Each structure stands twice: as structure tokens, then as C-alpha cells.
């Protein structure tokens, strides 16, 4: 592969990922969102939900100025001490399983979490978008006094100057990626042939993750460890990762999509961005809860159950607590009377 022309290099280094993807109009209802997500029903699709419209970036990128040096140090330290905390550690040569274990417990890595389930991605996006505290008193700078159509504040709320729970909440985002097409392009760019094209296989994973790459080679790959932990299984999880620690995930994915487009492949259809209006948040969480998709089911154990109670409180605050009058009892309760 020839060196990138200067204009193309600037595009992948500085451009927006949206310039290489299909961006959908903002979705403002649960029915429209579920209808759109239902169009991605083939096994080739993976999804990522984000609470805000921020750049797709791995955790190591967000915490380290020199991510290549940082990830070497973090992984070395984790491998030396993991046996003090878990008894069943990965085999010495299975780097992907080591990184998946690190990611599972919150260590910064080059892996980016995705899921095969669009509904799981929608939950993570909506759940993390905002605490949606109905007692927030700060208002946005612009149009601070203009009520949102989604909310009808009670007299008690108005008397206490309680703001609408959607004020100040930004839209959340769901990304969809065609991992089959992305991996096929990565295999071609890496020069892998025949049966030796499983990018999750230890030898290929090491080639992508650790080997010194040619200056012009920027790509991402979708990978899955051979042994899946419980959370990955329940969440239908997998990972996408960039092949270069010193180049951002966003730029590596843009480079792969641009490379494919120059070969007349429909790469703009391999990546989709769905923006969901903030006022839809609680409706999405309520609908997903009816499908048994919540923190209690996605994070087994007492911690997950307790996390699910946050959403339960937010939904009930938006509706009615059983046996509590929103106009009288709630005012007395809030004021401590």
C-alpha cells in the first residue's frame, strides 16, 4: 500500500469520523428508534452506545499523553499482579484474553467495548446520558425560562423552582458498524490470506497489536477472546481496537474506511451514527426495562441490581410514585414536612 497523499492523511488525522459514515437524522421517539435499530438485524452488525456525542476513543487514549508507553507499563504491571486477585488467569501467550480481563475490571486499554445487541447499546447510551435529577435547579444559559414540550411541571415543582429533568441533558448516540466488512478490509490491508485470517487468533492478534506497523498502515479490527467472561456473554460483547497505539481509534477507523472507498467499496454504509433526542431517554429506558434489559441483568450481582434502582427512581420521578400525589404529598416530602 502506497503512502497516504497529504490531503488524505490530513483527513484521517484531523477529520470527523462522521465524514466517513452514514449519519441519521435525530430520533425523537422510542418507536422510531426501535424501528431504525431493527434495520440492523444481520449478524454482521455491532453497536456501541455513548451517553454523549463524544469522539470514539479507547480508554488508554483518554488518560495518557503517550498511550503506547502507558499501555506497555499497565499491561506489564497487571500481568505481574493479577494472580493476587484472580485464580484463573489467562495463558501466558494469550494477549487478547489478558486485555479483555483488564478491560473487564476497568484498566485502561486500547480495546473499545461494543455489543452484538442494538438494545444493549441503546441501554448503555440512555443510562449513561445523564443522572436526570428532577431537582436540578440550574438552567441552560439560552432560553432558560422556555419550558420543554416533553415536560409538564406540577404546581408544586413550579413553586419550588424545580426545573424540567430534561433541561441541560444532551442527546445520546448509538454507533453501528459492519464488523464483517471492516475485518475483511483489515485482512486485505494486512496481507493475510487463506485460512489464516482470524484476527482474534493469537498470532494474528499479536501482529496487529504489537508488531511494528508500516508508516502507512492504519486500521481497526473487531476481535473476541476465545474464553468469554460472564459479563461479555450476557452483554453479547466484543471489542474493536486500533492497530497503532500512537494514532487514535477514530483516525485508524477513518483510514480503513477511506482506504476501502478508494477501492470503490461502499464503506460509508459500514458505519452508522444514530443520535437520540434527550427527551426520549426515560421512554427508552422504560421500554428496555420491559425487555428485561437493565443494570440488574447486564451486571449480575448486587452491584448491578443497585445500579438498576437509579433508573427505577428516575422513571418513577417522571411518572408517579404509587400512592403519592405529585401536587401535595410530593411537595411535603421534598420539603421534609
Q: How does pLDDT run across 269-296, given as a tens digit for each residue?
A: 999 999 999 999 999 999 999 999 999 9
212, 187, 211: which is closest to 200 by C-alpha? 187
> What pLDDT is attached to residue 160?
39
Query: Does residue 296 lie within any of the structural domains?
Result: no
Would you say residue 163 has pLDDT above 60? no
Separation CA 79–CA 102 (nearest Å) = 9
What pLDDT is attached to residue 328? Answer: 56
Q: What is the pTM of this model?
A: 0.83
The more confidently predicted of residues 141 and 331 is 331
Of all helices (H) and strands (E), which one includes residue 220?
Answer: strand 220-223
- 163, part of any domain: no
The answer to the question of residue 141 being in a domain is: no
Number of domains in the chain: 1
Question: Of 63, 52, 152, 138, nearest to 106 (Cα)?
Answer: 63
Q: Which domain holds residue 258?
A: 6-132+169-281
Element housing 284 (H / E): helix 281-290
d(CA 256, CA 108): 24
**Nearest-angstrom CA–CA distance, 238 and 258:** 24
Residue 15 forms part of a structural domain: yes
Residue (of 245, 207, 214, 239) closest to 70 by Cα position: 245
Q: How confident is the model at residue 246 (pLDDT cuts 50, 70, 90)?
A: confident
- H or E stretch at 22: strand 22-23
> In Å, how far are 134, 170, 296, 326, 330 from 283, measured between CA atoms?
15, 15, 18, 19, 22
**Is residue 308 assigned to a domain?**
no
Q: How confident is the model at residue 325 (pLDDT cuts 50, 70, 90)?
A: low
C-alpha cell recorded at residue 112: 473499545
> Looking at the domain assignment, is residue 162 inside a domain?
no
Strand ranges (DSSP E) for 54-201? 111-115, 172-178
Taking the C-alpha atoms of residue 149 and residue 187, their distance in angstroms, rounded to an integer, is 49
Residue 305 lies in a domain: no
Q: How many residues does the chain have?
A: 337
Amino acid at each position: 500500500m502506497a503512502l497516504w497523499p497529504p490531503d488524505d492523511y490530513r483527513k484521517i488525522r484531523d477529520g470527523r469520523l462522521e465524514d466517513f459514515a452514514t449519519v441519521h437524522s435525530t430520533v425523537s421517539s422510542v418507536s422510531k428508534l426501535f424501528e431504525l435499530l431493527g434495520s440492523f438485524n444481520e449478524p454482521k452488525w455491532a453497536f456501541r452506545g455513548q451517553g454523549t456525542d463524544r469522539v470514539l476513543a479507547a480508554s488508554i487514549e483518554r488518560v495518557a499523553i503517550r498511550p503506547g508507553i502507558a499501555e506497555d507499563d499497565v499491561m506489564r504491571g497487571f500481568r505481574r499482579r493479577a494472580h493476587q486477585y484472580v485464580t484463573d488467569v489467562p495463558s501466558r501467550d494469550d494477549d487478547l484474553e489478558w486485555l479483555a480481563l483488564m478491560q473487564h475490571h476497568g484498566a485502561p486499554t486500547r480495546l473499545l467495548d461494543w455489543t452484538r445487541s442494538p438494545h444493549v447499546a441503546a441501554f448503555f447510551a440512555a443510562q449513561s446520558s445523564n443522572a436526570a435529577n428532577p431537582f436540578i435547579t440550574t438552567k441552560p444559559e439560552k432560553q432558560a425560562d422556555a419550558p420543554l414540550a416533553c415536560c409538564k411541571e406540577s404546581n408544586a415543582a413550579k413553586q419550588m423552582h424545580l426545573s424540567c429533568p430534561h433541561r441541560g441533558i444532551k442527546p445520546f448516540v448509538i454507533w453501528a458498524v459492519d464488523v464483517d466488512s471492516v475485518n475483511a478490509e483489515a485482512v486485505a490491508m494486512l496481507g493475510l490470506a487463506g485460512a489464516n485470517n482470524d484476527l482474534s487468533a493469537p498470532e494474528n492478534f499479536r501482529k496487529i497489536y504489537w508488531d511494528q506497523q508500516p508508516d502507512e498502515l492504519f486500521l481497526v479490527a473487531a476481535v473476541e477472546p476465545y474464553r468469554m467472561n460472564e459479563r461479555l456473554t450476557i452483554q453479547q460483547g466484543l471489542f474493536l481496537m486500533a492497530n497503532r497505539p500512537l494514532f487514535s481509534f477514530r483516525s485508524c477507523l477513518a483510514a480503513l474506511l477511506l482506504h476501502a472507498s478508494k477501492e470503490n467499496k461502499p464503506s460509508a454504509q459500514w458505519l452508522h451514527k444514530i443520535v437520540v433526542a434527550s427527551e426520549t431517554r426515560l421512554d427508552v429506558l422504560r421500554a428496555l426495562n420491559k425487555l428485561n434489559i437493565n443494570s440488574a441483568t447486564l451486571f449480575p450481582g448486587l452491584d448491578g441490581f443497585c445500579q438498576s434502582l437509579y433508573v427505577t427512581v428516575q422513571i418513577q420521578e417522571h411518572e408517579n410514585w404509587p400512592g403519592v400525589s405529585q401536587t401535595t404529598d410530593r411537595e411535603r416530602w421534598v420539603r421534609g414536612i
